[in-house]
Amino acid sequence: MAGGASALAIMALGVLLLAAPSECARAFFVFGDSLVDNGNNNYLMTTARADSPPYGIDYPTHQATGRFSNGLNIPDIISEQIGAEPTLPYLSPELHGAKLLVGANFASAGVGILNDTGIQFVNIVRVSRQLHYFGEYQGKLRALVGASQATQIVNRALVLITLGGNDFVNNYYLIPFSLRSRQFSLPDYVRYLIFEYKKILMRLYDMGARRVLVTGTGPLGCAPAELALRSRDGECDRDLMRAAELFNPQLSQALEELNARYGDGTFIAANSFRVHFDFISDPAAYGFRTAKEACCGQGPHNGVGLCTAVSRLCANRDQYVFWDSYHPTERANRIIVSQFMTGSLDYVSPLNLSTALHIDASLMD
């Protein structure tokens, strides 16, 4: 009996040693929509899925993973930049044991700031549920490494959250005379979104997040889906562009207010509109052939419907800004992340991600 107890104690110590992160380790947590979902919707009964070819055609395994990309998405590339392995979807059965130390991706395609956004997709992980899962995750982490160490891992983590686009394209402007467009003028709707988004971000802080990268919306009216649906001359749709132009400055202001409350640099504003619009307005300057046509799709601008095995597929994904009707190619994602990492205050404020990570690393020494 004594020998058996000793063996069990040694095994338990081994698990703890495996679980204990190094001083420089940093977990990564992801919340949001299809721009950052890496496979949670694969485990749900929903049409908002990217689990069949040609999605993933340029992913290392050349298989569809649930990422809305031909290859890596934004969280994957951020993980590369911080020297970590990609986070697993929270719903993945592989997320247990030492894998919990890497972090988790809670994002779900189709969601928005509001719970009624994306109702046509039925079974998606809305943000309130993503935050609930974050609480569940922390319980699993405490069971693995203890309460004190779990708190430290969460506090030291990098958090990415991407929300807002679907609240326009899959809610306010989803159909003519939508419920929300009859309830709110566009300026009032944007103010309502910002009010609700601030509550989400405050909840993240209350749950332990201390370094949060918050992306604004891109130039929504320039997506191939919107060019196909709403543009007669190939120019970006004015209504959706106005929505983004109202939303993003107010989000930046909200983040400044939160930083005044919680500490400068707690929330980092990433100007997705500026980053995207740079290569949408001048694709050739970034080595792209087009920003008006999706690589995979059908119809005008290749922007109608889903990307499927029977869609028109471009031969060289690196020449395209958009992979499908809404989502960037891996190459475009890499440009976006590079600006988040090292860009000027025009792209990311109050400091870029590389500076923030350097500061954090020095505080851990």
CA distance 207 to 90: 17
Side-chain-side CA neighbours of 191 within 13 Å: the count stands at 6
Task: Say if CB 239 and CB 247 are below 8 A apart.
Answer: no
CA distance 220 to 223: 6
CA distance 261 to 284: 42
Residues 6+ apart with CB under 8 A from 46: 109, 110, 121, 122, 123, 124
Q: Are strands 103-105 and 348-349 parallel, antiparallel or unpaired?
A: unpaired
Residue with tokens 């001359």: 233
Amino acid at residue number 66: G
| C-alpha closest to that of 163 among 212, 225, 114, 223 | 114
Enzyme catalytic residues: 34, 324, 327
Q: What is the DSSP string of 87-119?
A: PPBTT-TT--GGGGGGEEE---TT--SSTTTTG
Where does 207-349 have alpha helices with state H?
Answer: 224-230, 238-262, 272-281, 330-342
- 89 pairs with which residues across the strands? 105
Q: Are strands 267-270 and 290-294 parallel, antiparallel or unpaired?
A: unpaired
| C-alpha closest to that of 221 among 206, 209, 235, 208 | 235
Amino acid at residue number 162: T
| 284 phi/psi in degrees, rounded to 5 | -60, -30
| C-alpha closest to that of 237 among 179, 312, 182, 292 | 292
| C-alpha closest to that of 332 among 104, 51, 68, 113 | 68
